[in-house]
Amino acid sequence: MAIIIDDISRTFREFLILPGLTRKEHIPGNTSVRTPIQRYSREKGPGICLNVPFTSAAMQAVSGTELAIALSRKGGCSFIYCSQPIEEQAAMVRKVKEHKAGFVDSDSNLPVSATLQDAVDLRRRTGHSTIAITADGGRHSKLVGILTSKDFWEFKDDLSQPIKNYFTPLEKLVLAEEGISLQEATDKLWKHKKECLPIIDKDGRLRSLVFRRDYFDHKSNPDELTDDKKRLFVGAALNTFDYKTRARALVDAGADVLCFDSSDGYSEWQTEAARYLRQEFGEKIILGGGNVVTREGFRYLAQEAKLDFIKVGIGGGSICITREQKGIGRGQASAVLEVADERDKYFKETGIYVPICSDGGLNNDTEIILAMVLGADFVMMGKYFAQTHESPTPKITYKSRVYKPYWGEGSNRARNWARYKEGESGPMLFEEGVDAYVPYSGHLSDKVDISIAKLKATMCNSGANNLKEFHQNTRVTRVSELTIVEGGASTVEQLDRIYTERE
Ligand code: IMP
């Protein structure tokens, strides 16, 4: 007979935070959500940290380069998915590392022979209104001029006209040469009161563009996470099959952190792979893994695989059907509570702190906050990021609402890849994820700002200025079903509901 443990699998919605004493110093401006992503010893204290405790899931529909850039600019970290060929994953990592904040590779380019109609079509496709005119329309070809939406009126000018009658030619542009610093480029824009500064090489070929609006954007991202060479911070996922060649390619491409992507990490596959990678790369790499949902799983990976951080969660993901398919998993709150308890015990016993990440099943900001207070050092999210403008999928409109496609790594759509085949050979016989759509939620930056503002506000309510205090000092209560009803807007009529019913 199986051993039945005396426990009920609980979810985040079953908990509420009790306020602690808020002192005058407990204001969002004084509150830090910086958090470790690397194991550390009691004597040395935390090493590499995230500036915000958010990571994006290693999934095809989530962690592409654009999202990775946007998230690390907010202070978090993406894990570029490994369900793709090694060279393609490494190229994505390289692209993030090569991204020079403020220096934009022009994606809207036309040759001199183009018409205004071509410019309008291109603008619709890219959404960008500054078009570089180059000798042959290539993004790094000889620069000839710049066309912006101010140079013609779409509904007044004859769109069959060639753009050469409209764009600002090279000799009238303010330009800079490759090698200029971002500070110098910004000063030049400011001095000449320009919106855009093209950067060219010594042969006059376009290298990049610097925009005035990006300067303000940069100023509004004080938490940007970078490596010691000021390049954006990025992670990449690994599987336990081709990890030897994959890890080498990812480290060479500049990945700052690697993480095994597996639905069940309590396995000899993962310790074997982790030991190999440590031997190969030493302490040079930050290596995470998982997923586990028990204290035994955590201790095994902390002790035997010596991982830097361990992900917690099986079966809670929004696209996940693992529990239905295989009857395995655990309520995410119970899993985080138990693993966090074991992490703290392990720290007490050994003096080594191994951060944990709550992965999957976070449906809103409240659940993110609860995951953090129940013990997570940081969270990993798929749906949350898949919904944003920066995720790699196209927007789709259905019945006047905007959606983005989102599918599990264990779904048929991503099935050619290894994540769910550990220890097996042959074709995958069943799915563990679904193929779905999620509502579009706008730009990542705005979304993360709101979530972090709420997290900091709750930390202030509970009398905490940092996540350590939030973990240690906060009291949490379990709730009844009726408390959940009481907590919503239940006894008033909300206008949008009345209108929807009338429609
Ligand atoms: P979400 O934030 O609730 O959307 O969950 C994202 C997490 O679900 C990922 O980080 C993975 O741990 C997990 N996941 C990704 N794809 C699958 C799948 O196909 N089946 C089960 N879990 C998945």
Mean pLDDT confidence for 412-418: 73
Where residue 499 falls among pLDDT bands split at 50, 70, 90? Answer: low
pLDDT tens digits along 301-312: 999 999 999 999
pLDDT of residue 284: 82
Residue 411 alpha carbon, nearest atom of ligand 1: 19
- Active-site pick, 320, 330, 357, 415: 320
Whole-number CA gyration radius for the chain: 25
Q: Residue 57: CB within 6 Å of ligand 1? A: yes
Q: Residue 360: CB within 6 Å of ligand 1? A: yes
Return the best residue to mutate from 320, 364, 421 for the ligand 1 pocket (most ligand atoms within 8 A of CB): 320
Q: Residue 432: CB within 6 Å of ligand 1? A: yes
Determine whether 419 is an active site residue.
yes
- Whether 468 shows a pLDDT value over 60: the answer reads yes
Mean pLDDT confidence for 401-412: 93
Report the C-alpha gap between 335 and 312 in whole angstroms: 7
Q: Residue 382: CB within 6 Å of ligand 1? A: yes
pLDDT of residue 422: 47
- Whether 495 shows a pLDDT value over 80: the answer reads no
The vertex-360 CA angle with 347 and 458, nearest 5°, equals 70
Report the C-alpha gap between 356 and 87 in whole angstroms: 29
Q: Residue 383: CB within 6 Å of ligand 1? A: yes
Residue 57 alpha carbon, nearest atom of ligand 1: 10
Q: Residue 317: CB within 6 Å of ligand 1? A: yes
Pairwise pLDDT comparison (337 vs 434), residue with the higher score: 337
Cα–Cα distances in Å, from 56 out to 40, 52, 304?
Answer: 23, 12, 26
- Token pair of 233 as six digits: 């911070």
pLDDT tens digits along 234-273: 999 999 999 999 999 999 999 999 999 999 999 999 999 9
> Percent of the chain having pLDDT more than 70?
95
Report the C-alpha gap between 153 and 155 in whole angstroms: 6
Residue 432 alpha carbon, nearest atom of ligand 1: 20
Return the best residue to mutate from 263, 309, 365 for the ligand 1 pocket (most ligand atoms within 8 A of CB): 263
- Whether 503 shows a pLDDT value over 50: the answer reads no
Where residue 276 falls among pLDDT bands split at 50, 70, 90? Answer: very high
pLDDT of residue 424: 47
Where residue 67 falls among pLDDT bands split at 50, 70, 90? Answer: very high
What is the identity of the amino acid at 156? K
Q: Residue 381: CB within 6 Å of ligand 1? A: yes
Residue 406 alpha carbon, nearest atom of ligand 1: 4
Mean pLDDT confidence for 84-100: 92
Where residue 216 falls among pLDDT bands split at 50, 70, 90? Answer: confident
pLDDT of residue 429: 84
Q: What is the DSSP string of 190-255?
A: HHHT-SEEEEE-TTSBEEEEEEHHHHHHHHT-TT--B-TTSPBP-EEEE-SSSHHHHHHHHHHHT-
Q: Residue 318: CB within 6 Å of ligand 1? A: yes
Give distance in angstroms: CA of 407 to centre of ligand 1.
9
Give distance in angstroms: CA of 377 to centre of ligand 1.
19
Q: Show Cβ contacts of residue 495 under 8 Å, excluding neighbours closer than 6 positions.
A: none
Where residue 485 falls among pLDDT bands split at 50, 70, 90? Answer: confident
- Whether 416 shows a pLDDT value over 80: the answer reads no
Give distance in angstroms: CA of 59 to centre of ligand 1.
8
- Whether 347 shows a pLDDT value over 70: the answer reads yes
Pairwise pLDDT comparison (4 vs 127), residue with the higher score: 4
Give distance in angstroms: CA of 495 to centre of ligand 1.
35
pLDDT of residue 419: 46
Where residue 417 falls among pLDDT bands split at 50, 70, 90? Answer: low
Q: Residue 237: CB within 6 Å of ligand 1? A: no
pLDDT of residue 196: 93
Give distance in angstroms: CA of 483 to centre of ligand 1.
29
SS3 (DSSP) at 189: helix
Give distance in angstroms: CA of 70 to centre of ligand 1.
21
pLDDT of residue 420: 45
**Residue located nearest, by CA, to atom 13 of ligand 1:** 317
Q: pTM of the predicted model, to two decimals?
A: 0.83
Determine whether 460 is an active site residue.
no
Q: What average pLDDT does the structure give for the chain?
A: 92
* Highest mean pLDDT of the ranges 3-7, 121-125, 235-239, 324-328: 235-239
Give me the residues paired with residue 412 across strands: none
- Whether 452 shows a pLDDT value over 80: the answer reads yes
Q: Which of 106-120, 122-136, 373-387 has the lowest mean pLDDT?
A: 122-136
Q: Residue 380: CB within 6 Å of ligand 1? A: yes
Where residue 423 falls among pLDDT bands split at 50, 70, 90? Answer: very low
- Whether 490 shows a pLDDT value over 90: the answer reads no
